[in-house]
Amino acid sequence: MNFFEQQDKSRRLSGYLYLLFAAAVVCIIISVFCLASIAFSYENSLASSAWTFELAIISTVITIIVVFLASAVRIGWLSQGGKVIAESMGGKKINQNTKDPMSRQILNVVEEMAIASGTPVPPVYLMEEEGINAFAAGYSPRDAVIGVTRGCATKLNRDQLQGVMAHEFSHILNGDMRINIRLTGIIFGIVFLASIGRILFNMGFYSGAGRRRNDKNNSGGIIIILGLGLLLIGWIGGFFGSIIRASISRQREFLADASAVQFTRNPDGIAGALKRIGGYKEGSKINSAGAQEFSHMFFCSGISSLFSTHPPLPIRIKRIEPNWNNKYPQTDKISNNFSTAPNLNNISGFTNSVQNDSSNFNHKKGNISEPSSSSASSFLKTEGQITEEKLAEVRSLISSIPESLMREVKDPFGSRCIIFALLLDQKNMEARERQMKLILQLAEEGTNLQTEKIQKEIVTLSSEQKLVLIEETRPAITELSENQFSRFQSIILKLIHADESIDLFEWCLHKVIEFDFGKKHYPRQLHGRSSVIKCLEECAVILGALAHYGQEGADPKPAYEAGFRSLDRNCVIPIPKIQNCGLSSIDQALKKLNRMTASAKRSLIDACAKTIDFDGKTTETEIQILRGIASSLSSPLGPNL
């Protein structure tokens, strides 16, 4: 499944939503104008204004301001990130250092899915709800969160929980979260008229003015009529909004179910979860006050509604498991034991692979510049596919990293020390001494000693272990305040410059930390609307840099052209000179390239892979450079497993 195409489809679907919204607003304007004219007809002093062009203009302006302002405010609030949605429904963030077996299992499953899919590891919120349910919320993968109910954690086994998480991660990768937020905001703007109507009705009713039928001033009656009318318009608008929401949401749920099966290649996981919901007294019910507004974000319908946002359980199960016998398990009697790591012995290639002794780990050791086990193109083909084998590989890698380092990554202080240790120069001792002095001068007390201690352990790790370790530091680093993160970034830049030269790998690590880890401090647009054709000169800079620095002295032109022709066969811009492909030029190019569509960005990433693979000697460094470029384009890639 091409998730870049799905993201572009989601963008087009958003455009369709706005057209429906505009049509709804036009209908509301006409209704408000008719309502105002009818109400004014009951008041002698205002009767002359009824059914006039002036009243139509006033009704139009006021309605547009109210509906659009309410929608914009709501979307703006929701766009702060999934955190606000999770907290509004009573979710409590699970601490990374938790020792609770249930919470630990949830975090481990989410962490594995995130690393395998190449998305940032999202914070996880636990909801004290007995129903079996979960949701993904946020405006982009950079600010997404996962919400899980206690019922989901206690009534599903690990495979079923993994199936549910795969479903939610597909919503993240498909761009469904942004659609969900816009749906919520649009419907809120329409229904907001009903809230105004309720206020007006109460004002007119409780003032008693509506009962003064013999008074010449019948303003109270007008207020009641306007209030009742706006209530009716808001309810009808909400009714049709619910139909639109249900029709869109149901199709996205089918897509997410199919994606979950494709990810895990284990249909029993998600099918088993759906069956347990069907056989459970509490089902997927959510009692939170926000369940109605956010019902379309859940794994299963959290409320009973005429226009359910989710397909019926039997239909979803039949699509996954056509031979299902229509029987549900007795979920109320089920109680699961929590496992932080599943048995991998039944998975091909992973017998006895989980161990804590990194010295016995069977992955290749050495510098990150060693030859890659796969080409860049084959890496891209498997990237984003969360197969059971890849999940097992992630678990194996995590379990092979020394426990002392895994304890450090759970803490913001230890995580920063790990990143600093990875940037220490291993060849130039003078440069390394300068780096250690910088850490001593600029970082917190004790950072230099802890960094040096960690560096001695990190040097023995394989390249894959180091990369997974970087991913593991993400949740702790995202907890830094804006000032702390800014200081952290400043130290990283000084460490990179300490050896008086910046290589592409250091630049890429910096970009991953800046754009992925610093998501809450550096908000930006996820994707734009520009095509590749409009950005060919900027694409040439990126491909030129890869060709100049990755061909080991060979002529860079053939490698450059191999990548560029995949973007445009009709026109090849000459390869830029090496001095025009420096890091500052790359930064400038990426600013414009970030405005491309998701599919256009994917085309550029594919072209980069062709340039990298041209000499037939793809290295781990080149794979990580590709990941750095992708991160800078808001299209993060997972580790090379």
Full strand arrangement of the beta sheet holding 145-149: 92-93, 124-127, 145-149, 134-137
pLDDT band at residue 223 using 50, 70 and 90 as cut-offs:
confident
Distance in angstroms (rounded) separating the CA atoms of residues 479 and 70: 31
C-beta of residue 148 within 8 angstroms of C-beta of residue 107 = no
341: tokens are 């790591």
- Give the number of other CB atoms < 10 A from CB of residue 607: 23
Least confident of 14-28, 231-245, 363-377, 465-479: 363-377
DSSP secondary structure letter of residue 295: G
pLDDT at 420: 93
- The DSSP letter of residue 142 is G
| pLDDT tens digits, one per residue of 416-439 | 999 999 888 888 888 899 999 999
Q: Cβ-count burial of 529 within 10 angstroms (0-12 exposed, 13-18 middle, 19+ buried)?
A: exposed
Phi, psi dihedral angles at 73 (to 5 degrees): -65, -45
314 CB neighbour count, 10 Å cutoff: 14
User: In this structure, how many other beta carbons lie within 10 angstroms of the beta carbon of residue 614?
Assistant: 22
- Say how far apart CA 454 and CA 423 lie, in whole Å: 12
pLDDT value at position 6? 54
Mean pLDDT, rounded, for 455-477: 83
Mean pLDDT lowest among 11-20, 115-124, 315-324: 11-20
- How far apart CA 451 and CA 436 sit, in angstroms, is 9
User: Which are the contacts of 53, defined by CB distance < 8 A and separation ≥ 6?
Assistant: none
Tell me the β-bridge partners of 147.
125, 135
Position 594, amino acid = N
Q: Which residues contact 357 (CB under 8 A, 6 or more apart)?
A: 400
CB-based contacts of 570, cutoff 8 Å, min separation 6: none
How far is residue 381 from each of residues 170, 387, 523, measured CA to CA in Å? 17, 13, 29
Give the separation between CA 408 and CA 396, rounded to whole angstroms.
19
**Distance from the Cα of residue 27 to its chain's centroid:** 34
- Identify the weakest region by mean pLDDT among 238-247, 404-413, 523-532, 607-616: 523-532
**Max CA pair span of the chain:** 97
pLDDT-based confidence at 356, cuts 50/70/90?
very low
Is residue 189 within 8 A of residue 241, CB to CB? The reply is: no
Torsion from C-alpha of 525, 526, 530, 534, nearest 10 degrees:
90
Length of the chain: 641
What share of the chain in percent tops pLDDT 70?
84
Cα dihedral sign for 501, 506, 508, 510? negative
Lowest mean pLDDT among 1-5, 60-64, 297-301, 320-324: 1-5
- pLDDT class of 345 with cuts at 50, 70, 90: very low
pLDDT-derived band of residue 508, with 50, 70 and 90 as boundaries? confident
Rounded Cα–Cα distance for residues 149 and 291 (Å): 13
Residues classed as catalytic = 168
pLDDT class for 574, splitting at 50, 70, 90? very high
d(CA 8, CA 14): 10
Q: Could you tell me how far CA 102 lies from the centroid of its own chain?
A: 24
Beta strands in 213-335 (DSSP E): none
pLDDT-derived band at 102, boundaries 50, 70, 90:
very high
Contact indicator for 576, 538 with CB cutoff of 8 Å = no
Rounded (5°) CA angle 256-259-263: 140
Instruction: Report how far residue 555's alpha carbon sits from residue 562's, in angstroms, rounded to the nearest whole number.
Output: 13
> Distance between CA 418 and CA 100 in Å, rounded?
26
Q: Give the count of alpha carbons within 13 A of 459, CB side only.
A: 10
In this prediction, residue 583 has a pLDDT band, given cuts at 50, 70 and 90, of confident
Find the DSSP H helices in 265-347.
Answer: 267-278, 313-320
Residue 212 scores a pLDDT above 60: no
List the domains of the chain with CATH numbers.
Answer: 10-83+179-256 (no CATH), 91-155+271-331 (3.30.2010.10), 360-517 (no CATH), 533-632 (no CATH)
pLDDT at 130: 95
The per-residue pLDDT for range 122-162, each reduced to its tens digit, is 899 999 999 999 999 988 777 889 999 999 999 999 999 99
Minimum mean pLDDT range among 374-383, 474-483, 505-514, 526-535: 505-514
Q: Is the pLDDT of residue 551 over 50?
A: yes
Token pair for residue 69? 């302002």
Residue entry with tokens 């429904």: 89
Measured torsion, CA atoms of residues 535, 536, 538, 544, in degrees rounded to the nearest 10: 160
Burial category of 44 from C-beta neighbours within 10 Å (exposed 0-12, middle 13-18, buried 19 and up): exposed
Distances (CA, A) of 550 to 326, 546, 609: 57, 6, 11
The better pLDDT of the pair 309, 149 is held by 149
- The more confident residue out of 223 and 389 is 223
pLDDT bucket at 331, cuts 50 / 70 / 90: very high
Nearest partner of 260 among 317, 308, 302, judged by Cα:
317
Counting Cβ atoms within 10 Å, is residue 428 exposed (0-12), middle (13-18) or buried (19+)?
middle
Instruction: Give residue 245's pLDDT.
Output: 81
CA 465 to mean position of chain CA atoms: 24
Indicate whether 189 pLDDT > 70: yes
Closest C-alpha to 470, from 434, 540, 533, 417: 417
Tokens for 179? 């659609």
More confident residue, 348 or 182: 182
- CA nearest neighbour of 163 among 267, 254, 250: 267
Of 80-94, 357-371, 610-624, which range is least confident?
Answer: 357-371
User: Kind of pairing, strands 124-127 and 92-93?
Assistant: antiparallel
Give the three-state DSSP class for 272. helix
Angstrom distance (rounded) from CA 571 to CA 568: 6
In this prediction, residues 173-182 reach a mean pLDDT of 82
Rg for the chain (alpha carbons), in Å?
28
Beta carbons of 318 and 324 less than 8 angstroms apart: yes
pLDDT at residue 353, rounded to an integer: 32
Q: Residue 133: what pLDDT?
A: 97
Better-scored residue on pLDDT, 126 or 462: 126
**Nearest 10 degrees: Cα torsion 431, 434, 438, 441:** 170
pLDDT higher than threshold 80 for residue 527: no
Mean pLDDT along residues 232-239: 87
pLDDT, greater one: 440 or 506: 440
